[in-house]
Amino acid sequence: MDDVMLERTLAKLRFAPAVTAMLMLTCVIGCGGRSDVGTVTGKVTYGGQPLRAAEVQFNPDAAGRNSVGYTDADGEYELLYTPSVNGALVGQHNIAVLDRSGKTPIPSEFTRLKFEVKPGSNRFNIDIPSK
């Protein structure tokens, strides 16, 4: 390797840590999520058993978009604020649990729950008693 090529290679290596640090900082700032949205997970049960395929809606008291999640076979849900952002806006929310299939008779009081989403991780379990 001649001296010119060696100098160029060394110059590239000197800047590599700085470039890597800048890329990481960009991702942390740009990919780190939103400070006005908290992640929300939970479990919905009906008569003590997991309620599958239920829709869980979080509608903020203040202006802003709602968040929706669907329960899996274990009754677990995770809210989506947008297709690429998990969670719900920080603040008070009106909560509704809905069974779109019509198979589970959910009492009306479970369409008017209230929860407060805080920054960071939130877990809200909902137990609906069977009749």
Query: What tokens appear for 7 in the block?
Result: 């100098």
- Chunked into runs of 10 residues, the chain (131 residues) has average pLDDT values of 63 54 42 79 96 96 94 97 96 94 88 94 95 75
pLDDT value at residue 30? 42
Side chain identity at residue 46, one-letter code:
Y
pLDDT value at residue 14? 62
* DSSP annotation of 14: H
In angstroms, the CA 70 to CA 98 distance is 10
Query: What tokens appear for 27 in the block?
Result: 């991702």
In angstroms, the CA 49 to CA 104 distance is 12
Smallest Cα–Cα separation from 41: which of 74, 84, 1?
Answer: 74
Q: Residue 22 in 3-state DSSP?
A: helix
pLDDT value at residue 24? 47
